[in-house]
Structure formats: structure tokens, C-alpha cells
Amino acid sequence: MTKPIHLDDGEALASVGASSPAHDSHQSLREEIDLLRILLGETEATGIAQAERAEDARVLVEETRLVAEDARVLAEGARLRAEDARLRAEAARILAEDARLEVRRISDIHDEQRLLVHDLIGVGADSVIVLDETYTVTYMNQQAMDEVSEGQSVVGQKLLDVYPRIETTPFWKRYKRVMEERVSIAFEDFYEPRNTWYQVNAAPVGKGIAFFFRDVTDRRRRDAALQRTEKLAAVGRLASSISHEINNPLESVTNLLYLIQTSKSAGDDTRMYAQLAASELARVSHIVTQTLKFHRQSTDATETRASEILESVLALFHGRAVTLGTEVHTRYAATDTLLCFAGDMRQVFANLIGNALDATGEGGTIWLRTRVGHDPHTGAAGVRVTVADNGCGMSAVTQRSIFEAFFTTKGATGTGLGLWVSHEIIHNHRGTVHVRSSENPAHRGTVFSVFFPD
């Protein structure tokens, strides 16, 4: 920043004229101007004012001022008591011309910087809005227009006129704080009117404020989903260690029940009860071993029968299917071996069967089938697994989005991650998945067909 310099030069410049012969006084004047420039350094001059006044017949007073945008006088030169009016006029002209060039140079730099800033804001991923002290929008970049005003500029309008609902949000309180206390703040919050999470940096700029913001909704939801998955994994580990602990006593109880069933001293009733207890217990131990298996994710792909995986998943859903009164029909090929990560595969079929159960209400039916066959597109040999249900079916619009992360029609009870994850897993196994679904009451239902090449 240049300090205002007052060159009351009467003496300085007058002495040029006084002490130098006329022919080299021009040269001295130039030096004087260079000195002025050195003194001024990086000047913030934006304009120049000039005046010429004849005090009397022999004296000409010339004023040249370098003025800043806010009308401060940065420098004032050549106020001369001239003896040689011609020389003084020339001095003023040169000084003025130099100053004008300087002003142009500075304003070029200024323009360049403004363009640079504009470009930088333009290419950034953030939306930017600038408000003046009356909360009127004075600038917004394209990203901001796309994000909050359907591609249209709202420059010149008051923020609250355009977005009246912002006043009830925490965003408004923060913007007011930045405006009034002149502090910068960064925050992340949920903006209800747009149902969106924003990350915002707000800072005082000039007399107003600027805020940079970006939509972080997906990241927030992913974080939340991740947390849920982590919780599930922890629960899985817990379940696995519990099932491990339960397994041993279960085995002894199974043996004891066997002894009762075969005991000659026990009555018929007793033996029948023992038999019932044993079959229930068999289910419990099945579930326990399945939970254990479920959790043990092997690091290598193994040869596993698709039907075995389906059966282990069914065991888990048995309780729910019974409660819902859903029938399950299975038909398996004799050889339906897959080279796969069995834990992953269980996850896929648990998702498909879980969805089928969600879709079929009271008294529905689910069909599970494995077949050895060929991919209709590539002709490759492999195993096809179908999970079909006569549940509610899906509309064409729903079908288009089911494999997207977070897409769910189940409100708070759905995560919208099941099919997304399944699709990833199938893809990682070089498999393909096809869906057919209908809402037509005559043949309502959904068929998921997954093909794994050998």
C-alpha cells in the first residue's frame, strides 16, 4: 500500500528550472518524475486530475494529482511558481502522461487479477455466492446457479426474497454472524428446504460476505451406511463367537435327547416329546452352524454348490417365512457347483430371498432353482440360479433404479444397498443378473436370474 505522498515541490521542481540551463532542464524533470515513481512504488492510483491556473501575467501554477479510487490524493506534483511558463507546461504534460500510463498499467493488472479470480472461482467444484451488506446477491458462479437456481442468475436480488425459507434454517444464523461479526466460519449442515447436506465456507468480503458451498449428501449417506455396515460386522463377530460357545452344549443336549428317545424306561409320551425337542434342536444347531459359516469369509474362492448356499440362507429365513406363511419351493440341479467366495454368495442370495420375502405378503410363494446352462449372449457354460416370487412386483420406473446405491421403496426400513452390493459381487464373479417383474394382477411377481460362467 502506498502512503499518500505530497510533493509540494514548489522548491524541488522550481529549482530545476532555476539551477539548470534551459536545455537540460527537461532531462532533470524526467529524473524528478522517476524519483516520484520510486517514491510512489506500487501506486494504487486510478485517475489523474490536472489544473492550470495563471496567477498573474508571469506566474503559471500547474497541478497534477494522482488520485486513488476513493478520491484520496496519492501524489500531487508540480505546483510551480513558474518563471518559464512554457517549461512548466511541458513538465506538467510529461508528468500527466506518465501518470496516465501508470494508471493504465495498474488497471490492466487489476483487470487481469479480476479475470484470474473469476476463472479460479469458475473452475472450482464449489458453488460461490457473494452478498453485499444488504444481503443482495452481487455475484454467483455457474455452479451456484445450477445448484440452487435452476441455472438462472439471481444477481441483484435479495437472498431472502429468492429463498425465503432460508431464514428458518441454521444457515441464515451463520451468514448473519459472518456479516455482523466479520468472522470466517466453516460448517456442514442439513438444508431442509432442498433435502441436502451442504459443506460451507463463509467469509466476510468487502462490506458483504461470500460463501462457498458444495453438496455432500452422498458422502454423508455413505458414511452413515458404512457405520451401519460396521455395526453389522461387529454384530456378526459377536454372533459368531456366541454360536461357537453354544455349539458344544448343543451337542451334549442332542446326545442326551437321543438317549431319552431310545431309553426303554421312558414312556411313549416322553419319547415323543424328546423327539420333538430333538428336531427343534436340530434346527437350532443348523442355524448356529450357518451363522458361523456365514461369518467365516475364506480368502480363496472355493468350489461350492449353489444349492447348498441357497439352503443355508433359507435356514436363516425359515422363521420369517413361517411367520409370513410364505411357501418356498426348491428345485436344484444335480451338479450346480460354483467356484466362488461362499460368504459373498450367501450375501447375494440372502439379499434376493430377503427382498422376495419383503415383496410377498401373507401366503405368497417363493421359487428357488438352480440349473446348468449357457449364457444366452455369450454361449458360455455355467450355472443359473433363479429366485422368483409372486409378490407385489415392480413398476418399470422402479426396475430402472433397483441396482443403484440407496434406492429403496421401503422408506425407513430399507437401506437400498442390498441389490447394489449383490450386483457388485455378481460382477466380481464375472456373473450377470437379469430381472423380470410385473405388477399385473394376473401374473404378478418378480424373477431374479443370476448366471455364473464356469
> Which residues are at the interface with Mg ion (CB under 5 A)?
355, 418
Of these, 410, 427, 430, 436, which contacts ligand ADP (CB under 6 A)?
A: 410
Buried b (16+ CB within 10 A) or exposed e, 411-449: eeeebbbbbbbbbebbeebebbbeeebeeeeeebbbbbb
Applying the rule CB under 6 A, the residues between 207 and 246 that interact with ligand ADP are none
Count of residues in contact with ligand ADP, rule CB under 6 A = 23
Nearer to ligand ADP, 180 or 230 (CB): 230
Please state, in angstroms and rounded to a whole number, the distance separating the CA atoms of residues 68 and 79: 19
- CB 144 within 8 Å of CB 157: no
Q: Is 392 in the site for ligand ADP (CB under 6 A)?
A: yes
DSSP string, 398-442: HHHHTTSTT--SSGGG--S-HHHHHHHHHHHTT-EEEEEEE--GG
Nearer to ligand ADP, 130 or 419 (CB): 419
Q: Is 326 in the site for ligand ADP (CB under 6 A)?
A: no
Of these, 60, 78, 394, 433, which contacts ligand ADP (CB under 6 A)?
A: 394
Nearer to ligand ADP, 138 or 398 (CB): 398
Of these, 402, 425, 426, 450, which contacts ligand ADP (CB under 6 A)?
A: 402
Q: How far is the CB of 348 from Mg ion (least distance, A)?
A: 11
Looking at 263-379, list the stretches that DSSP marks H as alpha helix, in order from N- to C-terminal side. Answer: 268-295, 306-324, 342-359
Q: How far is the CB of 399 from ligand ADP (least distance, A)?
A: 8
Residue showing the smallest CB distance to ligand ADP in the complex: 418
Tell me which H or E stretch contains 47: strand 45-56
- CB 167 within 8 Å of CB 176: no
Applying the rule CB under 6 A, the residues between 339 and 378 that interact with ligand ADP are 351, 355-356, 359
136 DSSP β-pair partners: 158
2 makes contact, choosing from ligand ADP, Mg ion, none, with CB < 5 to 8 Å by partner type, with none
Please state, in angstroms and rounded to a whole number, the distance separating the CA atoms of residues 254 and 285: 9
Q: How far is the CB of 410 from ligand ADP (least distance, A)?
A: 4
Q: How far is the CB of 353 from ligand ADP (least distance, A)?
A: 9
Q: Is 408 in the site for ligand ADP (CB under 6 A)?
A: yes
Q: How far is the CB of 386 from ligand ADP (least distance, A)?
A: 12
What are the backbone dihedrals phi and psi of residue 3, each rounded to the nearest 5 degrees, phi first? Answer: -80, 145
Q: How far is the CB of 387 from ligand ADP (least distance, A)?
A: 8
Write the burial class of residue 21 (CB in 10 Å: 0-12 exposed, 13-18 middle, 19+ buried). exposed
User: If you search the block for the grid coordinates 472450482, which residue do you land on?
Assistant: 124
Best CA proximity match to 309, nearest among 330, 282, 326, 325: 330
- The residues binding ligand ADP (CB under 6 A) are 351, 355-356, 359, 389, 391-394, 398, 402, 407-410, 414-420, 446
